[in-house]
Amino acid sequence: MRRRVPSRGSLALLPLAIQMSLGCTERASRPADVAPGVAPMGMVWIPGGRFLMGSEAPHALPAERPVHPVEVDGFFMDRDPVTNAEFAAFVKATGYVTVAERAPDVAALLAQLPPGTPPPAKERLVPGSLVFAPILHEVDLRDWSQWWRWVAGADWRHPEGPGSSIAGQDSHPVVQVAWDDAVAFARWAGKRLPTEAEWEFAARGGAEQREHAWGDAAFDPAHPQAHIYEGTFPTHAASARPVGSFPPNAYGLRDMSGNVWQWAQDWFHSDTYRADRARGVVRNPAGPPEGIEPGPTRVMRGGSFLCSDSYCRGYRVSARSSGAPDTGGPHIGFRTIMTVDQWHAWQREQPAR
């Protein structure tokens, strides 16, 4: 038996039809909204209901529009992003090797490149990952390639490369994990990644159309509400902080803004919301609906310590980003959820009390 380890706007501006279909802030009452029992250790119950997904706020990007009504069933969610200690327990139990620790597959790599592209030099076909590289002078913030470099030997144990370590950082969120790695951990734990609808519903904490997980107040550098980039980006090094360094939202979830981006289950597509809006109230969406070809990337949510008001603003609760499923980074982590069905399965496997 495998070991299952629970890790721990303005409404008035919306079309009347959406307000009526949503019932404003009134939530639907369904059995799936009621907690089936005591939450697994390190998790909290998120009651299902309807909410307005997306944003029409000034900082919202096209992929966050239009605002549309969505309904999700209740679920348990990790209070914090998965930590180094939790991921280490998974690796110890399974022998799992992350994507960043594997040598690149030449055939798979060339299949993603234009025909006739010569194979990379052998010395470059070694395990590694992307690492943030600060730049001391002013740069064009549209060209992200200027502050990222590929480093051989960078992985979850060595987030910045061979000279770095996670020693003494058990409570920090695990990083340098690809989407594939996050899925492998979730399956081992009897859980799954949240859909981005579940993630946003949980991040909002029961409130409608607020800009941030903490509310509508702007980020306050003097009294920070989350861990984002300090000063002028990208002029100095930065890294993740221990999980739970800031107060939780109304559902008891921590780090739903900043610290590390969090993988979601969905394939990313910029037109997903437009298609969902046309379908009316969408229940439990899990990515682009039928008729929209999913892209090659997966959704990431929550922003990171590399987000700021001058660059990306990804810590906003409606912000969407995307990443290749086989690529991690020093600012990318994840958290998991447990559905009611998964909770029942987990309960059956618990030792008799």
Query: pLDDT tens-digit profile of 142-171?
Result: 888 889 999 999 999 999 999 999 999 999
Domain membership of residue 49 (yes or no) is: yes
E-strand stretches of 218-290: 261-267, 282-283
Segment 201-227 mean pLDDT? 93
pLDDT value at position 26? Answer: 38
Segment 247-270 mean pLDDT? 97
Segment 1-5 mean pLDDT? 41
Domain membership of residue 305 (yes or no) is: yes
The 10s digit of each residue's pLDDT in 109-118 is 667 667 877 7
Segment 172-188 mean pLDDT? 98
- How many beta carbons lie within 10 A of that of residue 303, not counting itself? 31
pLDDT value at position 168? Answer: 97
Q: 104 versus 222: which is more confidently predicted?
A: 222
Domain membership of residue 120 (yes or no) is: yes
Which helix (H) or strand (E) element contains residue 212? none
Domain membership of residue 194 (yes or no) is: yes
Token couple for 124: 């470059």
Domain membership of residue 33 (yes or no) is: yes
Which range has the top average pLDDT, 90-94, 119-123, 290-294, 323-327? 90-94
Residue 102's CATH number: 3.90.1580.10
Total number of domains constituting the chain: 1
Domain membership of residue 1 (yes or no) is: no
pLDDT value at position 326? Answer: 93
Residue 106, pLDDT above cutoff 80: no
Segment 256-264 mean pLDDT? 98
Residue 119, pLDDT above cutoff 90: no
Give the distance, in angstroms, between the CA of residue 326 and the centroid of all CA atoms in the same chain. Answer: 15
Token couple for 2: 């495998």
Is residue 196 within 8 Å of residue 292, measured between CB atoms?
Answer: no
pLDDT value at position 1? Answer: 38
Token couple for 331: 């600012």
Distances (CA, A) of 299 to 59, 122, 182, 255: 19, 32, 13, 17
Instruction: In whole angstroms, give the CA distance from residue 201 to residue 28.
Output: 14
Residue 6, pLDDT above cutoff 50: no
**Residue closest to 29 by CA, chosen among 50, 43, 10, 45:** 50
The 10s digit of each residue's pLDDT in 18-69 is 333 334 333 444 556 889 999 999 999 999 999 999 999 999 999 999 999 9
Written as one letter, the residue type at 13 is L
pTM for this entry: 0.87
Mean pLDDT of the chain: 88
Segment 225-250 mean pLDDT? 95
pLDDT value at position 27? Answer: 42
pLDDT value at position 56? Answer: 95
Which helix (H) or strand (E) element contains residue 94? helix 84-94
The 10s digit of each residue's pLDDT in 288-329 is 988 888 889 999 999 999 999 888 899 999 999 999 999 999
Instruction: In whole angstroms, give the CA distance from residue 289 to residue 275.
Output: 7
Q: 8 versus 291: which is more confidently predicted?
A: 291
Instruction: In whole angstroms, give the CA distance from residue 284 to residue 286.
Output: 6
Would you list the DSSP string of 128-143?
Answer: EEEEE---SS---TT-
Instruction: In whole angstroms, give the CA distance from residue 166 to residue 160.
Output: 10
Is residue 193 within 8 Å of residue 180, measured between CB atoms?
Answer: no
Residue 273, pLDDT above cutoff 70: yes
Q: Is the peptide bond before 242 cis (omega within 30 degrees of 0)?
A: no
Instruction: In whole angstroms, give the CA distance from residue 53 to residue 209.
Output: 8
Q: What are phi and psi of 29, to 5 degrees?
A: -115, 110
Residue 256, pLDDT above cutoff 60: yes
Which range has the top average pLDDT, 15-24, 123-132, 238-247? 238-247
pLDDT value at position 205? Answer: 95
pLDDT value at position 32? Answer: 66
The 10s digit of each residue's pLDDT in 130-144 is 999 999 887 888 888
Token couple for 204: 């909002």
Q: Which string of b and e fits 250-286 if b means at least 16 CB within 10 Å? A: ebebbbbbbbbbbbbbbbbbbebbbbbbeeeebeebe
Is residue 81 within 8 Å of residue 334, measured between CB atoms?
Answer: yes
Residue 2, pLDDT above cutoff 80: no
Residue 126, pLDDT above cutoff 50: yes
Domain membership of residue 3 (yes or no) is: no
Pairing of strands 298-301, 320-323: antiparallel
Residues of the chain above pLDDT 90, percent: 73
Q: What are phi and psi of 299, to 5 degrees?
A: -75, 140
- How many beta carbons lie within 10 A of that of residue 120, not counting itself? 13
Q: 103 versus 66: which is more confidently predicted?
A: 66
Q: Which residue range forms the structural domain that includes residue 283?
A: 11-349
pLDDT value at position 40? Answer: 95
pLDDT value at position 30? Answer: 54
Task: Give me the sign of the Cα torsion angle 124, 130, 134, 138.
Answer: positive
